[in-house]
Amino acid sequence: MTDPEQACPIGPVIDIVFSRWTTPILWALHEFGRQRFVELERRLPTITPKVLTQRLRQLERDGMVTRTYHPEVPPRVEYQISDLGRSLAPLFAHLATWSGEHLADVERARAAYDATKMQKV
């Protein structure tokens, strides 16, 4: 039996980069630079604070985000995309191009598929 990670070498990358909320967080940090937690919350209003905290910790662990703690009163914590996270920019740009060129095709394919399934019911 073949290990799925060996069969598809991009599998681990997909797990890191495309898990829920990772891409929007990285995009926000890439587009708007260093931000405090509350700023990220405002930019991503549908994410819960708990999930944002979890995703930021995981992104920091994976080396995609750096966290800077400022020991002042009150304490201030800022997040920014790391060089490793920034290295994903060409991949995201390519995916954005693909999206613009092909999402309408995907929607048409879905509609055609759904129409054939409805006829059989």
- Is the domain of 72 the same as that of 110? no
- Is the domain of 96 the same as that of 75? no
Asked if 67 and 20 touch (Cβ cutoff 8 Å), the reply is: no
- Is the domain of 60 the same as that of 75? yes
For 120, the token pair is 């059989």
Q: What is the pTM of this model?
A: 0.79
Candidate from 57-61, 71-75, 105-109 with smallest mean pLDDT: 71-75
For 21, the token pair is 């909320």
Q: What is the tally of structural domains in the chain?
A: 2
- pLDDT confidence tier of residue 1, bands split at 50, 70 and 90: low
- Is the domain of 49 the same as that of 76? yes
Q: Is 36's pLDDT higher than 90?
A: yes
Q: What is the pLDDT of residues 42-54, one digit of tens each?
A: 999 999 999 999 9
CA dist 110 and 64 (Å) reads 34
Helical spans, DSSP H, in the chain = 4-7, 11-17, 22-32, 37-43, 49-61, 83-86, 89-120
Instruction: For the beta carbon of residue 23, count every other beta carbon within 10 angstroms.
Output: 14
| Cα-based angle 63, 81, 64 (whole degrees, multiple of 5) | 20
- Is the domain of 75 the same as that of 93? no
Q: Is 92's pLDDT higher than 90?
A: no
Range of the domain at 103: 88-121
For 121, the token pair is 């019911």
CA dist 69 and 71 (Å) reads 6
- Is the domain of 38 the same as that of 71? yes
Q: Is 66's pLDDT higher than 90?
A: yes
The pLDDT assigned to 8 comes to: 81
